[in-house]
């Protein structure tokens, strides 16, 4: 059997939303760990870890580790109003 040319068989496409940089500095590590612990305690049911997920994504956006998106676009539509209200009340 001769060598196969894999380049002609597979085409790699970039992610839809661009790159998702790693957190090399550990700026969001505590939020990631809280989310992972929550998943472990809840049999990997992410619906029970929405607060932790939102905190983690918020940290990533704050530190430019992902593009800023509205909470509604990220699946937190019910919390969009609460976040904007809490910022104006702070």
Ranges of each domain in the chain: 25-69
pLDDT at 77: 83
In this predicted structure, the answer to whether residue 88 has a pLDDT above a threshold of 50 is no
> What pLDDT band is residue 22 in, cutting at 50, 70 and 90?
confident
pLDDT at 17: 62
Cα distance between residue 35 and residue 6, in whole Å: 38
pLDDT at 51: 96
- Crossing angle (nearest 10°) for helices 29-41 and 50-62: 160
Who has greater pLDDT, 50 or 88?
A: 50
Mean pLDDT for all residues in the chain: 80
């Amino acid at each position: 059997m001769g060598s196969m040319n894999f380049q002609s068989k597979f085409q790699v496409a970039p992610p839809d939303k661009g790159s998702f940089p790693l957190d090399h500095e550990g700026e969001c590590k505590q939020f990631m760990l809280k989310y992972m612990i929550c998943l472990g305690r809840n049999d990997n049911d992410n619906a029970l870890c929405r607060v932790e997920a939102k905190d983690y994504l918020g940290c990533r956006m704050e530190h430019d580790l992902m593009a800023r998106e509205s909470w509604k676009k990220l699946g937190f539509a019910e919390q969009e109003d609460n976040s904007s209200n809490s910022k104006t009340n702070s």
